[in-house]
Every structure is written in C-alpha cells, then in structure tokens.
C-alpha cells in the first residue's frame, strides 16, 4: 500500500485538483443561476413560475449520469449546428460539458434550498420592513437575503458535499478526476482495492475540509446568536 501510494500520489493529486476545480466552478455557476430560479419559483405570474418549475423538475427528476451523457454525446450529434453558432469549440471539450452539466444540475437543487429558505423568513420581519417604508429591492437586500442565507447555509453545505461526490461521474466522459485516475491505475496494475481506497481517502479529506470551512462561515452567519448565548447582556447593550 505504501509503495502504491508513493508510485501514484502525483496522479491522484492531479485528479484531486480537477475534482476541486469542477466542484468549485459548478457550485459557483450553480449558485448564481439558482437565485433567479428560486425567485421565479416564488412568482405568482405563470409565465415566470412555469419555466423555472419545469427546469427544476427536469434536472431533479433525471439522473445526473443521463444528463452528462445527453449533453456530451448529444452535443456531438449536433456538431454542424453548434459550429454554425460558434459553440462547438466549447462543446468539443469534455471539461466544458462536465462543468456545464454539473452547474445546471446543482442550480436546480440549490434553487430549491434557496426557495425554502426565502419562504422561511418570518412574515413579521418583512411586514416590519414594509412598515418602515423599505422598497421591494431594499427588503430583498437587507431582510430577505441575509436571513435566507443563514437559514440555507447548512443545507447548502450538504449540497456542496453532494456535488463534490457527484463530480466522480465525469470520468465517464474521459475526464481524469480522482475517480478517473483511480480507474486507470486500478486496471493497469490490477490494484483495484488500493486504487479505490486511495480515491476514497482523497474524497474524505476534501469533504472534511469543505465541512470545516462551511462551519466557520456558518458561525459568522450566526454570529449574533452565538454572541448572545455566550454573554448576552453585554452584547445587547453594545
């Protein structure tokens, strides 16, 4: 096992970099996309509500594996069309198809987390903001978003962890992430056990780091509560 590790650590490390990149990029794009989708899902207007709802239904209702195949091999069938609009140079790259699918997928899940969190903000606080004469945008900016973010954070951390593990599927479209590296090394050396135990250890370490980071952020988001618990009276006076 030790010689196995020293022989292949470089390969696994380069796989880990890819896994981290794909997770970070897709979570970033996914979150940016999720916010408008969540707001659309809260809209009373059918023309706004339904497109977002169908989007979420599709990406939550079909397996990610199928989505990756669909976007990667499906786009290959439409090469002339994609070339005509100048998009083929992106779709021909496995990394682009992988990040695109992962982003669209996590956007659907994240938007549901955000929607739930926005709905969980107490009516009274929104009404108080209205009574103070805040505009709709001000209410979003100062009341709804900060409150929803704090409420959504633990669930969103979970989504990031799931997303990190979901990136292991991109090895089916030739991406050499941690799982892709493990598969190649396993079959080359017939070291299936060693390769996948190593891969699991890498995922575990990264997930643990993500959770540690998320905890720190969570503590900051809930700073007002933590401080009140510790020495409430002084905090209130301040």
Partner 1 sequence: MRTTVSLILGTLLLAIPASAQELPNPLRIATEGAYAPFNYLDDEGKVQGFEIDLARAMCDEIGANCEFAVQDWDGIIPGLLAQKYDAIIASLYITDERRERITFSDKYYQVPARFVVPKASTLEISREAMQGKVVGTQRATSFERFMRDEMAGIDLRVYATMEEAYLDLQSGRVDAIMADVVAASEGFLKTPEGEGFEFRGPEYTGAKWFGYGAGVGVRKEDAHIADAFSDAIAKVRADGTYQKISEKWFGFDVYGE
With binding defined as CB under 8 A, does residue 94 bind partner 1?
A: yes
Query: Does 76 interact with partner 1 (rule: CB under 8 A)?
Result: yes
Q: In angstroms, rounded to a whole number, what is the distance separating the alpha carbons of residues 37 and 155?
A: 17
Task: For the beta carbon of residue 97, count every other beta carbon within 10 angstroms.
Answer: 24
For residue 69, the minimal CB distance to partner 1 (Å) is 9
Contacting residue, 43, 60, 79, 224, with partner 1 by CB under 8 A: 79
Q: Alpha-carbon Rg of the chain, whole angstroms?
A: 22
Cα 78 to its chain centre, rounded Å, is 28
- Dig out the tokens for 172 from the structure: 């089916």
Residues 178-217 vs partner 1: string with x where CB under 8 A?
-----xx-xxx-x-x-------------------------
Q: Which is nearer to partner 1, 63 or 76 (CB)?
A: 76
Q: Any contact of residue 81 with partner 1 (CB under 8 A)? A: no
CB of 74 to partner 1, least distance (A): 10
* Residue 174 sits in the site that holds partner 1 (CB under 8 A): yes
Q: Decide: is 222 part of the binding site for partner 1 (CB under 8 A).
A: no
Residue 65: C-alpha distances to residues 56, 98, 238 (Å): 16, 11, 53
Nearest alpha-carbon partner for 183 in 65, 43, 8? 8
For partner 1, the binding residues in 131-150 under the rule CB under 8 A are none
Calculate the CA dihedral of residues 90, 91, 95, 97 and round it to 10 degrees: 130
Q: Which is nearer to partner 1, 39 or 87 (CB)?
A: 87
CA distance from start to end of the chain:
57
The binding site for partner 1 (CB under 8 A) comprises: 73, 75-77, 79, 92, 94, 172, 174, 183-184, 186-188, 190, 192
């Amino acid at each position: 096992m030790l010689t196995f590790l020293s022989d292949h650590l470089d390969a696994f490390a380069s796989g880990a970099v890819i896994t981290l990149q794909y997770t970070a990029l897709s979570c970033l794009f996914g979150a940016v996309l999720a916010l408008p989708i969540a707001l659309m899902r809260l809209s009373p207007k059918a023309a706004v509500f339904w497109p977002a709802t169908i989007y979420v239904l599709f990406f939550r209702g079909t397996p990610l594996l199928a989505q990756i195949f669909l976007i990667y091999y499906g786009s290959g069938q439409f090469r002339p069309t994609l070339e005509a609009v100048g998009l083929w140079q992106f779709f021909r790259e496995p990394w682009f198809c992988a990040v695109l699918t992962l982003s669209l997928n996590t956007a659907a899940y994240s938007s549901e987390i955000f929607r739930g969190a926005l709905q969980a903000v107490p009516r009274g606080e929104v009404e108080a903001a209205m009574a103070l004469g805040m505009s709709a945008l001000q209410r979003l900016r100062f009341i709804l978003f900060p409150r929803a973010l704090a409420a959504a954070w633990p669930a969103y951390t979970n989504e990031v962890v799931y997303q990190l593990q979901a990136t292991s599927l991109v090895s089916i479209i030739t991406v050499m992430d941690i799982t892709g590296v493990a598969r190649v090394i396993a079959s080359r050396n017939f070291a299936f056990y060693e390769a996948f135990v190593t891969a699991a250890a890498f995922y575990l370490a990264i997930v643990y780091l993500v959770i540690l980071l998320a905890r720190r952020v969570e503590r900051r988001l809930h700073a007002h509560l933590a401080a009140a618990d510790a020495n409430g009276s002084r905090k209130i006076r301040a």
